[in-house]
Structure formats: structure tokens, C-alpha cells
Amino acid sequence: MRKPYIAANWKMHKTIEETEEFINAFLPMVRDITDVDILVAPPFTSLAAASRLLKSSNVILGAQNVYYEEKGAYTGEVSPGMLLSAGCSCVIIGHSERRQYFSETDEIVNKKIKTAMNNNLEVILCIGESLDEREENRTFEILDTQLAGSLRDLSLEGITIAYEPVWAIGTGKTATKEQANEAHTYIREWLRKNKDGADSVRIQYGGSVKPDNIESLMSEPEVDGALVGGASLKPDSFAGIVTGAIKK
């Protein structure tokens, strides 16, 4: 059985002080949880402070983005080595907001995953269709394109997939558990057809996950966890999602 995996994507929220306040409140709430992998991805500026507080805890530190070069004249970018030295062991790549507002293509996502993997960073790869694409019945075609482009020439070692239908992100509109499971099943089949080790890859659902819908989503066999935005910003809310993710 795949271990449930719940990740917090804080996006552009929280100063260093706010990050410390969150972690100090959150850690005691989840200290005894061993049945769920938990990750927090604060903004770059909070990583080092978060790392100090998360040391020897059961919470993994992740970043929200990385550049695909190891070093050089790339003003404003952050390398995999910098993430490692800030205490990260994982990075989120290809989030729909990066694709939408920062023009990240599958080719760029693929280069970022390669560099992250070369540096032994685990990766949460985000994929998912827009509302128009779903309404045009193109969901599976979009997933095919994103999976093929993002994972070109790559193994599945250290990869988690986050299925995040863009229409459900930050909108309060959660996919039904059946819609989530259907997409995850499609992704699993794609991985089986195209790569080795597909059955051990965890597939998270993302899109308006909250404490009151996590249990229902997790009851589906192909939902292995969640990538959480808004509801991960408050310690009690995120702890509620972590607790609700324990498979019954």
C-alpha cells in the first residue's frame, strides 16, 4: 500500500516570522502521526528558518520552484544546490500558476525535474486540465501531453504526481471523489504503459482540499494524498487534513 502523502503549498504567503509561528503551532498537532508523510513548502525566504524548526521532526521541507541550471547569471532564480543547502529534500515543479503566469512549458518542467533529480531532490510534478479543456472532453489528452512532455527521458524514482484540475484550484470547487479517482486511474495507467515502477508512485489530488472533504477523497483507491493551498495556511486546518488522510 502506498503511504498517504499530504503537502502544503503556501504560494506567496508568510514572512519568516509567520512561518515560525505556523510551525511552532503545527508540529505538536502532528507529532504522533506516522501513517502519513507530511510536507510543507514555504516561500524561498522562509526555507532556512523552517528547516531549523523542522529538524528531527516528521515534517519534510519542500520548495515551490527551482531553476534548471546549477549556477550562473540567472538573476532572481534559485538552484537545486541552494534548496539543498536551505534544508529542502523536495521541490514542487510545474504548478499551474507557474505554467499560467510564468509561461512554464512541459519542456521547461522536464528540464527542471532532470536537474532536481540529478541533485537528489524529490519532486512533486503538477499536472491538470483547465475548465475549457474539461468541458471539451480533452482532460485525458491534456494529461497525456503533460505527462509525456514533463517526464521525457526520466525514470519515476523520487517522483510524486499531483493531479490538480486548474478549475478546482483556489476556487472552492473541489472535483468529486469520482472525478479525482478517474483522472488518477488514467494517470496510473499512463505510467504503467510508459515507465517502470508505476505502482509505487503516489498521486496526490489538489484543488480546494479542506478538512471536511479529505476523508471522502482519500476513500478512493487511487487517491494517495493531497497538495493543499489555501487550507494549508492555518495550523489547525492543515493538521485536520493530515489527520483525515489516514486511510481507514
State which residue, 79 or 218, has the beta carbon closest to ligand PEP.
Answer: 218
Is there a catalytic annotation at residue 95? Answer: yes
Is 221 near ligand PEP (CB under 6 A)?
Answer: no
Q: How far is the CB of 12 from ligand PEP (least distance, A)?
A: 11
Is 115 near ligand PEP (CB under 6 A)?
Answer: no
Q: Which residue is nearest to ligand PEP (CB)?
A: 229
State which residue, 79 or 168, has the beta carbon closest to ligand PEP.
Answer: 168
From 97, 104, 133, 164, the catalytic residue: 164
Is 94 near ligand PEP (CB under 6 A)?
Answer: no
Using CB under 6 A, which of the segments 66-74, 109-117, 137-145, 227-235 binds ligand PEP?
227-235
Is there a catalytic annotation at residue 164? Answer: yes
Is 128 near ligand PEP (CB under 6 A)?
Answer: no
Q: How far is the CB of 58 from ligand PEP (least distance, A)?
A: 22
State which residue, 79 or 224, has the beta carbon closest to ligand PEP.
Answer: 224
State which residue, 79 or 174, has the beta carbon closest to ligand PEP.
Answer: 174
Burial class (CB in 10 A: 0-12, 13-18, 19+), 248: exposed
What residues line the site for ligand PEP (CB under 6 A)? 9, 164, 169-170, 206-209, 227-231
- Which sequence positions are flagged as catalytic? 95, 164
